[in-house]
Structure 1
């Protein structure tokens, strides 16, 4: 069973500036801290809006946290501003530290934004994932309209020497410290990934599954796997399966999604789609989600389905390899 307190991170840490010890950090703590900062500091709010929406000026209309709607779940932070000509913009932000995404979480944020637009609450909206850099890098973040690393937000506070801002900076720095995000060795996850490769090697050898280390430490469990590790020598075109994502991505680096869609859109097979993932474009195929901290055998049906989907997208990649590689030349 997964840890029901997966959004809590415990670590004893002393903050010299204020003489207190942080015994635990919840995602809800970060939501509260950022909610206060967005309401109290116009400069911080403008930096976030500039990062997400673009240059202002903007007038604050509403700022809320933990907004719950039965059909869409919870929005951690909801910021509504008014731009030139009364154009209203909503920013719907999800705060993450280490917890995995909930089912259809990004999609439900988009549905919430669409509902508000249709209801006339705002004219434009952006969904934003706010998380540590390593979380954004290792997760399926391309389903969000924008991403904001906590490290970037911390940098926005550097020039403000008020006691309140120094306090917040220390809190954010601690939330992204090695003590919090070091991902110490997890024996259950290490064993899961060992069995994952062993099963793939025996039953799906053409997949050429290779694990990608999580950071530099070999003691930490991987967070994703690469398919076609020998067949796909060109690192600009690769296939990845991340443990906390419900999909497999064929990644074409430094390529706009429109360009990839123009090249292979008519060649896509059932359940394949083209998405933008940062500076890269991907051909995505849906697959069941797995939980590396849970028992391997209890997830075997999902793992088989993942490998079968992986075989499909690897065949697609090999069939259209020259077209894909031309996109990054």
Structure 2
């Protein structure tokens, strides 16, 4: 028996339930976790935590923790837990949409989306989350505690990290990764004011290119939806500014823009050229890319902070 592994196989659900228990019963862990995720080291009052929260249209959140901050406002962290499973297309964006729907329905006043995974998974992740928290960080927290139970928790998560290392089967699409990398490098060299996202390995369906032209402000993003043939500004969680945003972009006369509410957000978009991702390299469609970037640069000049 002593030669057997303690765990036959650690699954994502096992980690979900371990973290859920800690969030519900350990005040010190919950305060630490929330501080890491929100980047605000302040005490909170836990309201509740839930596992596998589904929305019929927007999909499932692995974990949600709801708390009251020092301001007295109700906030939430929507957590996507990954050991080695491939990300679903636009999964990070759908987490954001579920958070915004929670605001609309009065569930919370503010939210943070969080990817919780082994560091090696985070390093190759290309989905946009507000924050990334590694298993290794949580292991360090548990190892710093004196009780045997916390040491067990640390060992359990270390086993999940080992599974990630030995069990991951790459689903990265080299063609999409090369295309996106060339695209983002081109923007960084020629239009750095658009502040492109960092290039990471991509799955075949991950064809959104993100720009963050306002420094340190991630809730306003310009997105090139390549297959969707749109260049779009997303004002995340700013539906209350719809009239202001619409009035501002009404001054744009050289682009046909559509300003629309989207959940708790506002989008401003225009058509982008067709790009055949399946049969084209970046160099072959650089002209179409530049036309798209010209639209992005024009839109950037009208952004409202």
Please give the range of the TM-score, normalised by the shorter of the 2 chains: 0.5 to 0.7
Q: Quick one: structure 1 residues 232 and 82, their matched pair in 2 at CA, closer, same or farther if it must change by over 3 Å? A: closer
1:77 Cα deviation from its structure 2 partner: 0.7
Following superposition of structure 1 onto structure 2, how do residues 78-89 of structure 1 map, counting pairs within 5 Å? Answer: 78-89=64-75
- Residues 257, 274 of structure 1: 8 Å contact kept: no
Following superposition of structure 1 onto structure 2, how do residues 1-329 of structure 1 map, counting pairs within 5 Å? Answer: 20-53=5-38, 54-141=40-127, 143-177=128-162, 180-182=164-166, 193=174, 196=175, 226-227=181-182, 240=199, 242-244=201-203, 246-247=206-207, 249=209, 257-259=213-215, 271-272=230-231, 303-304=278-279, 307=282, 312-313=288-289
CA shift digits 1:129-172 (9 cap, x unpaired): 1111122221113x211111111121111211322211110111
1:226 Cα deviation from its structure 2 partner: 4.0
- Residues 231, 292 of structure 2: 8 Å contact kept: no
1:122 Cα deviation from its structure 2 partner: 1.0
The CA distance in 1 between the partners of 2:87 and 2:168, in whole Å, is: 20
The CA distance in 1 between the partners of 2:278 and 2:200, in whole Å, is: 11
The CA distance in 1 between the partners of 2:120 and 2:106, in whole Å, is: 36
Paired residues in the alignment total: 246
- Residues 76, 94 of structure 1: 8 Å contact kept: yes
Q: Quick one: structure 1 residues 227 and 182, their matched pair in 2 at CA, closer, same or farther if it must change by over 3 Å? A: farther
TM-score (norm 1): 0.59
The CA distance in 2 between the partners of 1:50 and 1:28, in whole Å, is: 24
The CA distance in 1 between the partners of 2:188 and 2:215, in whole Å, is: 22
Partner of 1:282: none
What SS does the corresponding residue of 1:166 show, helix, strand or coil?
helix
What SS does the corresponding residue of 1:115 show, helix, strand or coil?
helix
Unaligned runs of 5+ in 1: 1-13, 198-209, 212-223, 276-300, 318-329
What SS does the corresponding residue of 1:31 show, helix, strand or coil?
helix
Unaligned runs of 5+ in 2: 235-275, 294-305
Q: Quick one: structure 1 residues 106 and 226, their matched pair in 2 at CA, closer, same or farther if it must change by over 3 Å? A: closer
- Residues 92, 125 of structure 1: 8 Å contact kept: yes
- Residues 180, 209 of structure 2: 8 Å contact kept: no
What SS does the corresponding residue of 2:106 show, helix, strand or coil?
coil
1:99 Cα deviation from its structure 2 partner: 1.4
